[in-house]
Amino acid sequence: MKHRCAANWKTLPENDSDGYHLGFVHLALFKTVRMQYQRVVGDEKAIKAVVRDWGHGHIEIDWSPGYQGPFEWFGGAAGPVVADFVAALERRDGPELARQRILQGPAHALIFPNLFLGETNIAIVEPVDVEECVHWHTPMFWKGVPEFNGRLLRMAEAGMGPASFLMPEDLIIATRNQQGLRARTPEWLLLSRGLDREYLDDQGRAVSHVTDETTNRALWRHYRAVMTEA
């Protein structure tokens, strides 16, 4: 799937890794479709998802701390086909690792500069001009489980298709951000949300609440370093 966007390409990678806007920009989706992002709406203190800076511009939203059961990231899929898939995973990887995978789900991460792993979707942002880019995306079909392809395709259509919720709304926001940049005022942007609760984990990665701007800061910090060295 291909979407053209009237904005600089950097607006989309930043958006893909921002957890703050979901609860209001995409509220209509959460009220309409049961999906894994439901728990970002409501009391901020009850949201358990986190954002993480992996370094070198690589950033992620980790939704798994908020999941309470298997396959929540897969729309709560269940039934004989799912049971067979879980059994195959356990035979291949062992029960402990298999359970970890079905509970946590795939990554929601940006690989700097423009590769986005959107859980069950893969996207690339292609720069076209200073104020234009193309967002390419495809559902991630799983090898050896063709029975899931229909569900994965429907999920991609609901979130990222031309008549969906997520992608069209994000493209509108990116376009408006680009229009705001033309104004040249104010002369700076403040990206300090969550600085007071950001911490380093045992691997030295910056981690914070999903609504904090840890990922935004990490993206722009590395972009500045890359452009300074160029």
- Per residue in 196-227, pLDDT (tens digit) is 999 999 999 999 999 999 999 999 999 999 99
Q: Are 165 and 32 in contact (CB under 8 A)?
A: yes
154 domain-assigned: yes
Q: What residue numbers bound the domain in which 210 lies?
A: 2-67+107-228
Q: Are 118 and 152 in contact (CB under 8 A)?
A: no
Query: 136-155: per-residue pLDDT in tens?
Result: 999 999 988 999 999 999 98
**One-letter amino acid of 79:** G
The residue that leads in pLDDT, 61 or 30, is 61
Query: 22-56: per-residue pLDDT in tens?
Result: 888 888 777 776 665 666 566 788 889 999 999 99
Distance CA 182, CA 230 (A): 25
113 domain-assigned: yes
Q: Are 164 and 158 in contact (CB under 8 A)?
A: yes
Q: Are 64 and 104 in contact (CB under 8 A)?
A: yes
97 domain-assigned: no
Q: Nearest-CA neighbor of 139 among 122, 151, 125, 117?
A: 122
pLDDT at 40: 59
Three-state secondary structure of 8-73: CCCHHHHHHCCCCCHHHHCHHHHHHCCCCCHHHCCCHHHCCCEEEEEECCEEEEECHHHCCCCCHH
Distance CA 40, CA 49 (A): 8
90 domain-assigned: no
150 domain-assigned: yes
Split into its structural domains, the chain has a count of 1
85 domain-assigned: no
202 domain-assigned: yes
Q: Are 141 and 156 in contact (CB under 8 A)?
A: no
The residue that leads in pLDDT, 94 or 187, is 94
Q: Are 39 and 45 in contact (CB under 8 A)?
A: no
Q: What CATH number does the domain containing 35 carry?
A: 3.90.380.10
Which tokens in the block code for residue 183?
């104004």
Beta pairing partners, 209: 50
52 domain-assigned: yes
Q: Residues with Cβ < 8 Å from 103, sequence gap 6 or more? A: 64, 67, 69, 70
Q: What integer best gives the mean pLDDT of the chain? A: 91
Note if the pTM is more than 0.85.
yes
